[in-house]
Amino acid sequence: MKRTWGLEYEEIISGPYKFWRVFIKNPFQKDEKWYAGLNQKFLENALKSGIHRLILVVGQKEIIVAPPTKKEIKRMEFEDIPSMFQGSPPMRIYHWKL
């Protein structure tokens, strides 16, 4: 189990494909739909690592999705959360519809 930027995940390699199984602990509801929050650094690391698919684990449910491209990330809804470190920029959390 790995942990980065507040998210726990495990890496799975199957032949030429690489997956990250991400454990979502706090999904939230907005406009009667469920969302997960994935931060900008986590998504950027997934793209840099060549991840083929993300497996979002919410309770007993697994949702398999392609990681968003940089272009798609720019169109996603997000919120900026103040950093807990003084003088650091806020952390950008993207809302991922489940």
Per-residue pLDDT band at 11 (split at 50, 70, 90): very high
Q: Are 2 and 12 in contact (CB under 8 A)?
A: no
| pTM attached to this predicted model | 0.84
Domain ranges across the chain: 2-97
Q: How is residue 17 annotated by DSSP?
A: E
Q: CA-based angle 50:53:59, to the nearest 5? A: 135
| Backbone phi, psi, residue 72, to 5° | -65, -40
Q: CA-based angle 88:90:34, to the nearest 5? A: 155
In tens, the pLDDT along 87-98 reads 888 889 999 888
